[in-house]
Structures are given as structure tokens and as C-alpha cells.
Chain A
């Protein structure tokens, strides 16, 4: 099948790659770039484990073609924190036991990131609604909600410290 060149910034690194038009974004990230932190769960845009940020917006990468991110920027879980330092969202998930098997966690955290950027001070209800496109079978969500609340508080206090 004829390939097409795409230019995309992934986790702040520019990439220029030839891909088949039918290649899914999730497979592009996992198979071509080796970023296996983005998982694949349902193939029907329901479970959300493949959630990444495309130009800052949460997208389910299993139902998006790689060619659709040409000229855009993509952030995956590998770009969330630093190897040495966890992002407050990652810290929140660890502190509040917001993960068990870990399979939904990258998608859950990326959706949380988009949520907190839009709404830095969410209520429990805001979080439950904001994460309703992401399924988790292990945790029962209660600790995920707490994790995001924890992260929101830390992000706010960090922002406060900077603005002071």
C-alpha cells in the first residue's frame, strides 16, 4: 500500500515518517515509534486506554489514523513527566492508589491532564464526568477520582507558588 509522509511532534520531538494511510495512530505510536505506554483496549473508542493528547485535546488513538496528526503535536504518557520526576498527576495516582493492573492508567492520566488544564479546580462530579470516556475494571474509580483531586491540589499549589 502506498505510504504517505507525515510530520508530527511527539512528546516535543519532531518526527518525519512514511506511513500507510490505514495505519492507526495507536499503532503508529506503539509499533513505529516504540511508545508502548499507549495501550489498545477496545477498538471502538469506548474504553479510552489509548487516550493521547493531540494539540492538547484528549483523543482516542485507536480510532484515529496516523495521517490525521500530520502537522500536529501529540503527547503520550511517556511525555507526561520526566524519567526522574513524576508529573503531579502520576504522583496523585500513586498516592491515592488510583491504579491496579495499570492498563487503563496511561489513558486515564492523559484524560485527567486535559481535564485539569480546562478546569484546574474540579469537583468530584466534574472528574467523574470528565473521565467517563475511560473504563477501569480494577479500581472502581473512587481512588482515581481521589488521585485527580490530589493532582489538582498539587498543581494549584505549584501554580500559586510560581505566581507568588
Chain B
């Protein structure tokens, strides 16, 4: 009798198999966009505006054209002749490709130069003379809504103010009634500062338009190649089947590489005009000041509380600063992403929220930076408000959460904003975290330390978030519904190729997606090649962002493997000379019911599909599957941080950080933990140092890595990880998204810890990042500290 396969050994579900991708990356043999060199290729550089708001009086490119080695100097006026001076955004706004009338933020694209090498192209940019008429810059929503403020988007017909959207959701009247019955109303205002996802690899593209075949191939740093192909077809008015987007290895994305950027469009237009390949590789400053920012939301909200601690209702308002162009990459229906997923983890009967977006003279956006459409902002406000409410009630912050978190027997749970939570064990996760940190002991330690003048603090963040858009009923981008597809082909010898529409940027899809097939078919993971990132050779997919790959493309992978297995069953019945009903499946093998020793392997079935199929059966063993998820997956996280704040300087150090994540079934635990640690580092970065602001003139402060601080190995604390597993009831293998949970739920844990350390000062809020001077100011003057720009005025 054949030995049963050990799923872990063959790299199936739950195996921490080493990554396939590593073999090339470790040898310096990755293929990032900048690594490609095509025959006849020229290099493109972009000239950017030094001013935040100015009318363009003239652009003189004559000197640039005279430089030997310069082949093209493209201006907005020239782009306009091809109807490409403007392009649509993913939020149904428009964005300038190259400025023609005005510049609307510092770093905006004005012209580009193609030359034999990037050095000459830069020389060309320096030789362009632009004459500006400066206009008053607007750097926050309050300035933009002030009377007499200049209209930033005067290009838009009928735009008479600086508002880009208004939105509301929830039950306004029910919420008002609940507030009328409250014993206590806890209020909080805060600003989630502007940030930039800042992958180390900047954006870039190589456009290769073949004038003989009219085929356009674009190598591009994109997280969503199929959406980009559709967008390029629309923007450049090219037939979609003649566009091939190749997204090779990507040096990190974090949401930054979802949108269409002017640089991509310019490289395409230049390639068409020059009939040769055009490479554009952005520099770091270009990336930080012009590609889409994240966050920058002002909150004002309140919780209606009963005196026993029960939350009766929540309502809040968001003012988002969208920069010069409203270009959030988000599902069409939702104007501020899924920010109404805030408070989803808590059993709150009523909720209502409003939001309004403002145009300002800042970089456009905003993208979902390591989050599922603004849920990071949602969960940060949620957890800060929860802590403030516990404090207002005089309740312990853990006990207050325990009282209000959704209970195990309440699933599926409908939130007041209309989401349906699929599953979870919220209390268990919280308890695991509290035990791990030694909650009660720490509170005693904190009291003892306080008596000696030391400031210790403990912060909790508990949250669930919706990951894995669609379903297609509610979620679309540019009218294309949010689903994903997979194709699986098993070759005669039983080796397989899986093609998926998602696109890895470090998440390890080439490793984990093979594991899903292994789980379903018993083919060893080492025998499965995963392909992605080339629109000519992979099925349609919405791309990898918003933690949607495992929930959607991963589900499509399981479903296509099941279709293949169904055909293999017919082949097995044929080989075993029994009826299909008498064939039983075990991992990697079919056997005759009641006679386990009489069986055939999946590999033998594969060979039969090509060499010994029954009469009338279509040859081959392959299939495809489109997966439209019935719901989002809802992972849960409980994060606890302890800190010590220096009372003299405001510097704070992390003592411990405990993370309990429930992301359902873990496909590859090693990779899951890697995702959590990466996300937690970005959470720490947000809380501690990482932000972009603007001075009163609209100059971006944070335009390079000397000003935009990212944590290094030296500052970053260690993380203690724990797990709870609640399988998603609707996902084929019970998995949930995980890539972003720590970045979403983490920041509040750090901030709550620092706030807890200064809980005797009466300070209600210090805006992130909690720079030492802000913490010091709060302690010294016992007042809230706002981080809203402009931080200083030059006038």
C-alpha cells in the first residue's frame, strides 16, 4: 500500500518552505525594471516644478534640443496634440501628465527629455527655461476652504471651490437618538499625518512601441499590470490586445505602485513618437514629492457611552487633504476608501460618518499605503478613540475593550456601517496578548516606576479589517469588478504551471501559491512553477494591494486546482477500471473505495490525460477559474506595546511589543510572520518618525531620505509574535489577508502606550509622529500637540 503523503514535507499548507524567489535575489539576479536594457533604448528624465502653485507663462526648450545626444523634449503642449496632457485618475478625476496651464504642487511634471543616457537627459532638463507667475500656495484643508482662496482646479468646468468630494454613510437619525441617551460622550480630534509608502525601488518604466507591429510592450513597476493595461488602453487610446504590460520583479510597493503616473505615460508617448524603447527611472526625490502620498486625514469624532462602559453609538467626520488631483486608488463607490470599517471590531448598534475632501497644492493621492483602502486611518482613529473613551469612563482599557468587542457567537456580524464580519475570536486574541505581555504585572510596575519619577506606559490596539475586495456587487475600479483569476496546467509528467493575475512585490507568491496547489492536488510544491506579472501570459487579475492576493487570487488558485482534480478523478476511474463514484481522494492519490492499496497518483492521472484518456474525453489536464469572493476576509489583531518615556527629553523607547494575529489558516507560517514584522516596522515608523509635511510656501519637507526618516535596524524594536487561528468560513482554504494588519493596527498601539505614559497630564492627543519635542511639549505644558501643517510659517 502506498504511503500517505506528508503535506508539510511536500510543501503544502502550513509548510514554512523556503522561498523560491530567493534563489535569484540572493545572487543579484533579480529582474527589476531598471535591469532591462533594450536595443536602441533611450533614457527619459522629468523636469519638475520647484513651485507649489504658479501659472506657467512660457516654456523654452530650444537649448535642450541643441544638446548632443538629446532625442526628444516633450512638453504638455506637445502631449496635448496627442490628447495626453491630462489623464483620468482612479477616482474619476483628472490629473495633468505634463503641466500646460498651471503647476499645482511642488514636483509636478512639466517636461521630459529623452537622450542617449540619463546624464544627458538630466542636462537637457536643466537647459529648459520655464517662466512662472507665482500664485498663493494652499497647504491644508482649512486654507483651501477659506474665503477668497484661489481655485486650485480652475481647469475643471464648474469647479467653484476646492472641494473634491463629499460623502456620508450610516444611520444618522438612529445615531442621533443613541447620542441623546448617552450618559457620557467622549470626543477626540486628531490628524493622521501625510506619509509616503516609499518602497526602496522608485517607480519606472520601459516603453517599447514597435512601429512595425503596432504592439506596445511596457516593462513597469506596477502592482496591478492588468488594470494598467486597461488604463493605458483608455488613456492612450490604443487597442488593449496590442498592449503588453510586464511587471517584473518589484522592489516593494506598499500601494505606491498601484496608480498610473505621468512618467509612465510620458515614456509611452515618447516611445511612440521616437519609435524606439524609452526607459524612465525615477529618482528618490521625484518619487517622494510627486507619486501618490497616503493618509493626511483630520478626524473629529465622538462615542456615545453608557456609564457601565457599553458603547451606544459612534459618529465622526473626516477632512481629507487630497492634494492637487483626487487620485485615490480605491473602489469606485467609496470616496474615502473603506474608512467606514472603523469600529467594526466592536458591537456598536449605531454609526454615522461624513467625509469631505479638499484640493490643496500638495502631491496628489492618496493611495492605500499598506492597507485596504484607508482602513489604516480608520483603525488608528478607532483605537485612539477607544482608549480616550476608556479613560473618560475611568475604566481599564483592556476591560473596556473586552466589554465591547464582538463576541464569538455573534458571527456573522453586521456593523452599523453595513459590513459583514465573517468570523473571529476577538476575546481570545486579546487574552493571549494580555497574558503574553503580563498586563497586570506591568500596571503594577508602572505605578511603582511613577513613584520614582519614571514614566512607563502600555498601549493596546485591537482591530479587525476588511481584506480581499470584491465582492463584485459592491467593488469595482474604473468599472471593472474586483475578482481574480488563475490558470493551472498540469503537464504529462505531473509537473505544473500556475498563472495568476496578481503581482508580488515581496510577498512571496511564487512560493505560497504553489503551496495552495500542493494542498489541493498533492503535487509537491517544488514541481509547480508560478507565473505572474505579464498581461499577455497570465489571466486577468486586479493586482496585489489591499491584502487581496490570498483572499481572492489564492481562492481562485484553490478553485482551479479543484477543477483539475475533478478531471483527474475521471482519469483515475478510467485507469482503475471502476466508476467515478467508487474513487476516493487522498492527498496526491485516488484509490478504489474500500481498497486503499489499489490506487493511482495524480502524476499517473496527468500522464493518462495526455496518453491514455478514455474514449470521448478531451485530452489535457488544465483549467482556469475566476473567483468572485462572497465577502471580505476579516483577520483580527491584538497588539500591545510597552514604552518608557524620558520625562526630561520626550524621547520614548519601546520596552516590548506583542502581536497576536488571527489571519485564519496560514499557508506559509514563515512568510506570514515576515509580513507581520514588516508591517509592524512601518507602524513603528508612523508612530515615531515617518511623515511628510509642507512649509507655508508649499515646499515638501521630506523630499529625500535625509528629511524623510525611515527606521533602520538600530531603532526598530523587536517583535514577539503569537497566533490564533479562526478559518474564514467562506474562503476555500480558510485563509484571510495578513500583509497589512500590523501596519494598520500597529500605530495606535505605540501611540496609546505613550499616551498612557503621560496619562496624569490631562493631555488628550499628540499627533503622530510622536517626535520627542512633541511629547516634551505635551508633558511640559500639559496640552495637546497638533502636527497639522504648516508646522512653521516663513512669513
A interface residues with partner B (beta carbon < 8 Å) = 20, 22-23, 27, 30-31, 35-44, 46-47, 49, 76-78, 80-81, 83, 86, 90, 93-95, 97, 99-106, 109, 127-129, 131-145
Contact = CB atoms under 8 A, between A and B. Distances in A.
B680 A140 contact: yes
Contacts of A100: 252, 506-508, 674, 678
Nearest to B283: A43
Contact of A131 (B506, B679, B713): B713
Contact of A86 (B26, B251, B682, B713): B26
B706 interface: yes
Given A137-B198, A141-B713, A83 B27 contact: yes
Interface stretch (B14-22, B57-65, B562-570): B14-22
Given A100-B674, A136-B200, A93 B27 contact: no
B200 A132 contact: no
A36 B32 CA distance: 9
B254 interface: yes
Interface in B229-286: 249-254, 281, 283-285
Interface string B661-688: 0000000001101100111111000000
A49 B198 CA distance: 14
B249 A102 contact: yes
13 contacts: A20-B119, A39-B200, A97-B19, A102-B30, A103-B201, A137-B254, A137-B682, A138-B674, A139-B674, A140-B679, A140-B681, A143-B674, A145-B713
Residue of B27, B30, B118, B670 with highest tally of chain A CB at under 10 A: B27
**Interface residues of A, dominant DSSP:** loop
7 nearest CB pairs, A to B: A37-B28, A102-B25, A103-B251, A101-B506, A100-B506, A46-B705, A140-B677
Contacts of A143: 674, 677
A1 B19 CA distance: 46
Contact of A97 (B27, B117, B252, B670): B670
Contacts of A81: 26-27
Contact of B199 (A22, A44, A101): A101
Interface string B279-304: 00101110000000000000000000
Contact of A139 (B118, B254, B677): B677
Interface stretch (B212-220, B619-627, B714-722): B714-722
A137 B678 contact: yes
Interface string B25-53: 11111101011000000000000000000
A109 B29 CA distance: 14
B609 to A, nearest CB: 35
Contacts of B704: 42-44, 46
Nearest to A129: B714
A80 B671 CA distance: 25
Instruction: Sort chain B's interface into a size bin.
Output: 35 or more
B678 A41 contact: no
Nearest to B287: A42
Contacts of B253: 101
Given A39-B201, A49-B200, A99 B22 contact: yes
Contacts of B200: 39, 41-42, 47, 49, 101, 103-104, 135-137
Nearest to B16: A97
A128 B26 contact: no
B250 A36 contact: no
Contacts of A86: 26-27
Given A49-B200, A102-B251, A141-B716, A94 B26 contact: yes
Interface string B197-211: 011111000000000
A46 B198 CA distance: 13
Contact of B251 (A23, A39, A46): A39
A122 B710 CA distance: 24
Contacts of B677: 139-143
A82 B681 CA distance: 33
A76 B505 contact: no
A104 B250 CA distance: 11
A41 B713 CA distance: 17
B623 to A, nearest CB: 31
B712 interface: yes
Contacts of A35: 28
Given A46-B706, A140-B678, A144-B713, A77 B27 contact: yes
B19 to A, nearest CB: 7
A42 B284 contact: yes
B714 A94 contact: no
Contacts of A105: 25-26
B192 to A, nearest CB: 19
A75 B145 CA distance: 56
A135 B712 contact: yes
Given A46-B704, A144-B713, A137 B26 contact: no
A103 B706 contact: no
A140 B281 CA distance: 26
A42 B705 contact: yes
Contacts of B24: 102
Given A43-B284, A141-B681, 18 more contacts: A23-B119, A36-B34, A41-B201, A42-B284, A46-B706, A47-B284, A81-B26, A97-B670, A99-B22, A101-B253, A101-B505, A102-B22, A102-B25, A102-B506, A134-B713, A136-B713, A140-B719, A143-B674
